[in-house]
Structure 1
Amino acid sequence: MTNTTKRRTRKLVLLSLSMAIVVFGLWFSGTNTFKFLKGYLLYKTAQTSSEQVHVKQSEPKKADTYKVDEPLYSKRPQKGEMIGELFIPKLKASLPIYHGTDEDELEKGVGHFAGSVLPGEKDNSVLSGHRDTVFHRLGSVGKGDLLIVSTSAGKFTYKVRKVRIVAADDRTVIVPKPRATLTVTTCYPFNFIGKAPKRYILVSTLIKSEKQLQAGEG
């Protein structure tokens, strides 16, 4: 083989190696670029999803909206005004209720203590009556019996939860209550002659409200 032929052969080998290196480089570079791009896209996609989840989780919750209860009574009664009726199923008795507990009201029926809430309202509504007139049979009413009050605001059913006998000057009868309560009180003992030293108390809680629709409602 001549020197010229040897040189040509080397050039071809070198050229082939160079082309192989270039092709390999391109392949290697392209493969890594593809992997890089693929990894980058996956990263960005995961990052975006994470951000969306983070945003959703960090969104403040809307505050609950509560409806303000409308008052049961559009106006407060005047002293001496008849405000409703007390029905005692155990006695089959219907008794008128007057606003106030002075003798003028108690002579006509059951008196509603003006310093307490009206029947059906939350807190303690206090009713009083004479033991020798409207409440002469109240002693037979006890725990578990019902008391039903009807007023301009509706019909309110109470269930007697407790019977108390307290001193005549016991002021716990009229204390506020955490729930709608009807307290019915009369003098005690029932057969006592003269000014009775004690009070017979029925403490009942509201179990059913049938509100009267106001004009323009329903």
Structure 2
Amino acid sequence: PVPGEAGNSVISAHRDTFFRHIYELQDGDEIQVRRDGHTYTFRVTGKKIVMPNDVSVLKKTSDTRLTLITCYPIYYIGPAPKRLVVFSKLIGNSKTGQERAQASPGARRQS
């Protein structure tokens, strides 16, 4: 599923580009994902180092989760031997920007 839908949404990225700060995430930190005019807020629930062939982190869930995966160690030169996995659960969903203004009856002008 995509972030915000029920299930385990998984996003992976390179440790030296988009996920260069992923190792700084701690339990309780919030992650926001913007999609289709909504902001989905997830709370970090844990981290784990796994082998690349450990697919247990991809398991289906009934609740709404976001799992982030990158190579580990972060500053390893060459193909990294392990993976850093960050787990989080959905805690909020709100409309963003222009979509919020258009959805609000008070935001419309009468001519």
Can you give the 5+ residue segments of structure 2 that lack an aligned partner in the other structure? 105-111
Residues in 2 aligned to 1:153 and 1:118: alpha-carbon distance in whole angstroms: 14
TM-score (norm 1): 0.43
- 2:10 aligned with 1:129, yes or no? no
Q: Which has the larger radius of gyration?
A: 1
Superposed CA deviations along residues 116-152 of structure 1, whole A, max 9, x for unmatched, are x011101011111101111122111121111000011
- Give the secondary-structure state (helix, strand or coil) at the position aligned to 2:56: helix
- 2:57 aligned with 1:173, yes or no? yes
- 2:73 aligned with 1:200, yes or no? no
1:148 partner amino acid: Q
RMSD: 1.9
Deviation at 1:173, TM superposition (A): 1.9
Residues in 2 aligned to 1:211 and 1:124: alpha-carbon distance in whole angstroms: 22
TM-score (norm 2): 0.82
2:28 partner amino acid: G
1:130 partner amino acid: H
Residues in 1 aligned to 2:56 and 2:26: alpha-carbon distance in whole angstroms: 19
User: Does the Cα contact within 8 Å between 1:168 and 1:196 map onto a contact in 2?
Assistant: no
Residues in 2 aligned to 1:135 and 1:128: alpha-carbon distance in whole angstroms: 8
2:26 partner amino acid: G
**Aligned residue runs from structure 1 range 83-122, under 5 A:** 117-122=1-6
Among candidates 7, 24, 41, match of residue 157 of structure 1:
41
User: Does the Cα contact within 8 Å between 1:183 and 1:203 map onto a contact in 2?
Assistant: yes
Residues in 1 aligned to 2:63 and 2:32: alpha-carbon distance in whole angstroms: 17
Higher helix fraction (1 or 2): 1
- 2:30 aligned with 1:146, yes or no? yes
Superposed CA deviations along residues 147-205 of structure 1, whole A, max 9, x for unmatched, are 00001151100000011111111111211012000001100001111111111111000
Residues in 1 aligned to 2:90 and 2:82: alpha-carbon distance in whole angstroms: 26
Residues in 1 aligned to 2:6 and 2:20: alpha-carbon distance in whole angstroms: 28
- Give the secondary-structure state (helix, strand or coil) at the position aligned to 1:142: coil
Deviation at 1:211, TM superposition (A): 4.3
Give the aligned partner of residue 23 of structure 1: none
Q: Which has the higher contact order (CA 8 A, sep 6+)?
A: 2
- Give the secondary-structure state (helix, strand or coil) at the position aligned to 1:139: helix
